[in-house]
Chains A and B, each alone.
Chain A
Amino acid sequence: MATIQTRAIPKSYSLPQASGAKIASPSTSRLLPTGPAFVSHLRLTKHHGHSFDAHDDFVEKERQRWEELQASAINGEDDLGVGDEPETDDLLSLDPKEWKKHDYYAVLGLSHLRYKATPEQIKIAHRKKVLKHHPDKKVTTTSTPQSTSSLLQGLNLNTNDDAFFKCIQKAHEVLTNPEKRRQYDSVDHELVEQQEDTPTAASFKSKKTDFFKAFGPVYEREARFSRKQPVPMLGDVDASKEHVEGFYDFWYNFDSWRSFEWLDKEVNEGSDNRDDKRYTEKKNKSERARRKKEDTARLRQIVDLTLSLDPRIKRIKQEEKEAREAKKAAKSAPASGTVTPKKTKEQEEEEKRKKEEEEKVAKAEAKKAKAAAANAAKKARRAARAAEEAGGVNGSA
């Protein structure tokens, strides 16, 4: 709007007295029912009681809501939370020949999701990486820095140009194939690293860390291997008896899909020797079985350790005892009437005796639990052996 300029009022100017006049009475008209302004007018008159302030508030709120909607539409729909991970030089200089040792999730930029990544996310992540690293694009992007380097380097880079792209393709191939992905997830680098610092009885005692903080994550990462989902977690101090019992029951009968084919030794490619092949296969098989056994034993150990350190077991015992006592008291109460405070000595003695008894019971129960665990382990071993034999028969057949 062009600025309007007024002139100064004369010195002699005096304010005219308001005559009390009103504006000419408004006439009635029919608006054309069209356009956003019409809707605004309706809102103003119908909902906001003709108040411009209320209407302004409303418009502002609508605008904010709109912006939020826009923002969420952009973030939510596009990449399902795949996001963008920085690519380190180490990652970019991976050798595609060493593909077995790669971290495929890192290659695809999914290291924050790992085994939790859904097939859709893997697809999106792969597409993103391909768009960035396709050799067709590299030609233009890498040619400029190459020109500054020496000829030899340039040649080297050229031959290695699509190395990372090959890694991406390999990673995509593995992660999109459910069987291959299972094998890979079984021996995921990150997991193996984490498993190395599982707390032992000695380390737990020396560090005096919180029981739940120490063991909670362990179970969380082992849970992925369960064929049965969802997996009961460790829980917290106040977990109910049912939960604790269910937890140990589940983990003593843990049904794992973890397998170790990924670590198989390659059959020597060059040789056509059947004996050679068979030998390697046999070796691989036994190695797989050994690893599986080790893994089962390892998990068993962890569960044993947890059970022995679990503070809730003690609590539950205590509760059971109290319940029993309460029952007894309820039985004896109507006979004796009010409890006399004089019999303190007798009571103390009784309590001592009971404590001792309970400790005995607890020990016995722990023994029982151990025996049961051993039994279960035996069973598992037997089952594994049977499965292997069956597999062997199938394989040879």
Chain B
Amino acid sequence: MTSTPPAAESTIPAVVGINFGNSFASIAVFTKEGLAECIANEDGERQIACAVSFFGEEMYIGNQAKNQLVKNSKNTIVGFRNLLGKKFSEIPQSQATTSAPVIQHPDIPDEPAYKVEVLQPAPSPLPTSNVNTPAASSAPTPRSEPIPTQRILSVSEVTVIFLKSLLQSAQDFLGKPIQGAVITVPSHFTDVQKDALEKAASEAGVKVYQLLEEAAAVASTTTTEAWSPNLSTDRTQLVVDVGASSLHLSLLSLRQGLAHVLASHSQENDPTVGGDAIDSKLITFFANEFTKKTKTPLSVCQPTPASTADARAEAKLRLAVEHTKRTLSASPGAATCSVESLKDGLDFTGSVNRMRFDMLARPIYTSISSSISQLLEKANVDPTQVDEIVYVGGTTCLPGLDEHICLDGGFSEGINTPFTMGTVVGGGIGDPATVLARGCALQAALIESLLSSSSDQEKELLKAFNRTTELSEAKVTSKTLGLLFPDGEERLEGDNLGGTFVPVILKETTLPARRSITFDVQLSDESKRFAFELWEVSEGIRVEKVKPPKVELSDAEEDEEEEEEEEIETKHKTISKETLLGAAEGEAKLGIQAKGGSASANKAGLGKWTSTMEATVVVTEKGAVEVVVKEVGKDGVEIKLSVSAP
């Protein structure tokens, strides 16, 4: 299936992609080069903290607001995304928070809200006139002091304030009003919550083109050509999204740009996974260092803080370790953490190297990788069958996590991760922190192009992006389909298929499907005859306990993978024939004889006759198969084979 022309337009589409997480958000727009790029807000932050803080007459949004958690925590609102669209009674009250607590809205029943103390500007003095000013003074009347008041903000109001600031940043970058936005939603969001988010966005002044699930946003980015020019378009992808306090795993099957979820797993508000958990470990480490160095007791990460000084020190450390983590991700050396006046006026500077850090974070790493194993087990997919791991979220930039997942999960050595592709650093397309926002921007541009098209047919397609649509339902194949070129040779090891098997249409390919492959067919010496069989096969994994002899098989499917060094257990991908769908033979007309027998040919005299063939396999939506094998070149032989629908 060929894709539509690239989304790059001469005029930049005025759309924005918003990754709206519970802790951090990011925005992406199209740059002049026609690429979706994650952009920074006014503070120069690409990862914008989801926080709104009130201090006096001022309102802070984003990372500035997060800094307010130290001194002004009661007036700082964080973690509001997950409460969006929820009733007050649905929200668990047990969690102790350092930020502004969630309260019942005084006016609206069962509505969560935040109460913040702000300073309201005093009413301006009465305009002076000749009548009410007896003695004219040259100095203006000083304004009265602002009045301290309480402000009640519902969750959706906070969301509107925050989204507005995001949109403003995007608008300032593009220099024109934003037409529409695509916003990520976690898979656990209910329809009520989605409605609430859409409403908040429209109040913030933008039309929501689509609420995109995080896995879909990832697929939107990873199916572009810029993501991986070298990877096959048919692959199985594991998405590991580690948030500040959540973990989302999705196993996607990508088939030429079409993605569907094989299995997914999500953990929300879990203190054992996520970036906050790693932060806590690191903070505890540094607090112990501090106590050791200064003999000042400092206890952090307790359910109830021992004192306000401790709570404040913890908040300071929490802000400081952000930098430490970034340094650890970026460079292999040690990273420092410095806090001025951590407790009792004592400064603190400590350092941690990568090894120590990985040791500290190991429990979290292990918890993530065990979740991955469970997911794969649930989906009945062997780790070696996963072709690619995609990381999402700033925490996944940690190289230690990648190493741990790859080793512990039993993935094949050649697995593609952003680390092996070298796209993690540099803020490029593979940057885990920007993947979601980019995907949203790409999707927004796609919808924008459909909206701007004049034909009704195209407009009709927009329905597919609604939440309740049947258009995304599709039939997928359940078995891999391929061509077998028999050679009659017996093989002792591996799959004894009796020939060379070329997989054409992998399982889980959406119907109707069309694939073409090109290959060289060896012809029999006398008659230039060749034949092929169309087979349905099932893929399996064979585990061998002994190290197999080093035999190089020509079969492309036979990659040998070692799981771990200690074990001599090896895994093979195996293919077993299931159903013969048909067979055909023909005589090649454009055969070429290779000059001189190659070493592997193992035959005296002249080389072998080969001909280049192109096979196109089409499977209709009903399941009928049509195979056309054609010799590449003029006047080549053409063989057709068709199988009717089941």
User: For residue B127, which residues in chain A have a CB less than 8 angstroms away from its CB?
Assistant: none
Task: List B452-499 residues whose CB lies under 8 Å from chain A.
Answer: 457, 460-461, 464-465, 469, 471-479, 481, 485-489, 499
Give A30 to B261 CA distance when docked, in angstroms.
8
- From A19-27, A185-193, A253-261, the one touching the partner chain is A19-27
Give A56 to B478 CA distance when docked, in angstroms.
26
User: For residue A34, which residues in chain B have a CB less than 8 angstroms away from its CB?
Assistant: 212, 216-217, 219-220, 223, 259, 439, 443
Chain A: which residue is nearest B610 at the CB level? A5
Render A65-94 as a binary contact track against B, CB cut-off 8 A, 1 for contact.
010011001100000000000000000000
Q: Using known A-B contacts A9-B485, A16-B533, A35-B223, determine if residue A27 contacts B478 with beta carbons closer than 8 Å.
A: yes
Most B CB contacts (10 A, CB to CB) among A2, A3, A13 go to: A13
B508 within 8 A of A: yes
Nearest-Cβ distance from residue B413 to partner chain A, whole angstroms: 19
Nearest-Cβ distance from residue B573 to partner chain A, whole angstroms: 16
Chain B residues within 8 Å of chain A by Cβ, number: 96
Contact A39 B450 (CB under 8 A): yes
Q: Which of A15, A30, A47, A74 contacts B584 (CB 8 A)?
A: A15
Task: List B227-275 residues whose CB lies under 8 Å from chain A.
Answer: 252, 256-261
Q: Using known A-B contacts A15-B585, A33-B465, A42-B471, determine if residue A4 contacts B476 with beta carbons closer than 8 Å.
A: no
User: For residue A28, which residues in chain B have a CB less than 8 angstroms away from its CB?
Assistant: 473-476
Give A303 to B641 CA distance when docked, in angstroms.
82
Contact A18 B582 (CB under 8 A): yes
Q: Which of B10, B487, B510, B621 contacts A70 (CB 8 A)?
A: B10
Give A27 to B1 CA distance when docked, in angstroms.
20
A63 within 8 A of B: yes
Give A86 to B484 CA distance when docked, in angstroms.
65
Give A134 to B499 CA distance when docked, in angstroms.
73
A7 within 8 A of B: yes
Chain A residues within 8 Å of chain B by Cβ, number: 56
Render B205-224 as a binary contact track against A, CB cut-off 8 A, 1 for contact.
00000101101110110011
A393 within 8 A of B: no
B302 within 8 A of A: no
Nearest-Cβ distance from residue A116 to partner chain B, whole angstroms: 28
User: For residue A33, which residues in chain B have a CB less than 8 angstroms away from its CB?
Assistant: 210, 212, 216, 464-465, 469, 471-472
Contact B646 A25 (CB under 8 A): yes
B364 within 8 A of A: no
- From B59-67, B320-328, B415-423, B512-520, the one touching the partner chain is B512-520
Q: Using known A-B contacts A23-B581, A24-B536, A28-B474, determine if residue A13 contacts B486 with beta carbons closer than 8 Å.
A: yes
Give A272 to B260 CA distance when docked, in angstroms.
92
B165 within 8 A of A: no
Contact A32 B643 (CB under 8 A): no
Contact B258 A38 (CB under 8 A): yes
User: For residue A35, which residues in chain B have a CB less than 8 angstroms away from its CB?
Assistant: 219-220, 223-224, 257-259, 442-443, 446
Contact B524 A6 (CB under 8 A): no
B625 within 8 A of A: yes
Contact B533 A45 (CB under 8 A): no
Most B CB contacts (10 A, CB to CB) among A40, A42, A44, A56 go to: A42
Render A28-66 as a binary contact track against B, CB cut-off 8 A, 1 for contact.
111111111111111111110010100110010011001
User: For residue B478, which residues in chain A have a CB less than 8 angstroms away from its CB?
Assistant: 24-27
Give A312 to B446 CA distance when docked, in angstroms.
62
Contact A3 B488 (CB under 8 A): no
User: For residue A73, which residues in chain B have a CB less than 8 angstroms away from its CB?
Assistant: 10
Chain B: which residue is nearest A51 at the CB level? B512
Contact B556 A9 (CB under 8 A): no
Nearest-Cβ distance from residue B273 to partner chain A, whole angstroms: 24
Contact A9 B486 (CB under 8 A): yes
B380 within 8 A of A: no
Chain A: which residue is nearest B530 at the CB level? A9
A202 within 8 A of B: no
Q: Using known A-B contacts A30-B472, A31-B259, A34-B219, determine if residue A8 contacts B464 with beta carbons closer than 8 Å.
A: no
Give A12 to B488 CA distance when docked, in angstroms.
9
Contact B457 A36 (CB under 8 A): no
Q: Which of A5, A11, A27, A40 contacts B4 (CB 8 A)?
A: A40
Nearest-Cβ distance from residue B620 to partner chain A, whole angstroms: 6
User: For residue A18, which residues in chain B have a CB less than 8 angstroms away from its CB?
Assistant: 580-583, 643
Task: List B603-643 residues whose CB lies under 8 Å from chain A.
Answer: 608-610, 618-621, 623, 625, 643
> 16 new A-B pairs (CB below 8 Å) besides A23-B536, A31-B260?
A4-B520, A5-B610, A6-B502, A7-B485, A12-B488, A28-B475, A31-B472, A31-B510, A36-B3, A36-B7, A37-B223, A37-B257, A39-B446, A41-B1, A45-B512, A74-B10
A-B contact list, 8 entries, CB within 8 Å:
A3-B519, A16-B533, A24-B536, A26-B511, A28-B475, A31-B474, A33-B464, A34-B259
Interface residues of B (CB under 8 A from A): 1-5, 7, 10, 210, 212-213, 215-217, 219-220, 223-224, 252, 256-261, 439, 442-443, 446, 450, 457, 460-461, 464-465, 469, 471-479, 481, 485-489, 499-500, 502, 508, 510-512, 514, 517-526, 529-531, 533, 536, 554, 556, 578-585, 608-610, 618-621, 623, 625, 643-646
